[in-house]
Amino acid sequence: MGFSAILSAITGTVKVVNLIMPFVDKISKKKRTEKMAKVRRANRDVL
């Protein structure tokens, strides 16, 4: 493995991660809001 090959592999990985991250962010935010809604509903039922 040459140094340039390692560098290009790293930059390629970074590019892929940058493409994927927004989708992961959206999904995790959606899940978090759903979880919060469930917690709120449960709290309402208790009260």
Q: What is the pLDDT of residues 23-47, one digit of tens each?
A: 999 999 999 999 999 999 998 888 7
Tell me what pLDDT residue 47 has. Answer: 75
**9-41 core/surface letters (b: 16 or more CB in 10 A; e: else):** eeeeeeeeeeeeeeeeeeeeeeeeeeeeeeeee
pTM beyond 0.75: no
Residue-level pLDDT at 46: 81
Average pLDDT over residues 13-29: 94
Which two tokens mark 20? 């994927």
pLDDT of residue 10: 94
Whether the pLDDT of residue 16 is over 70: the answer is yes
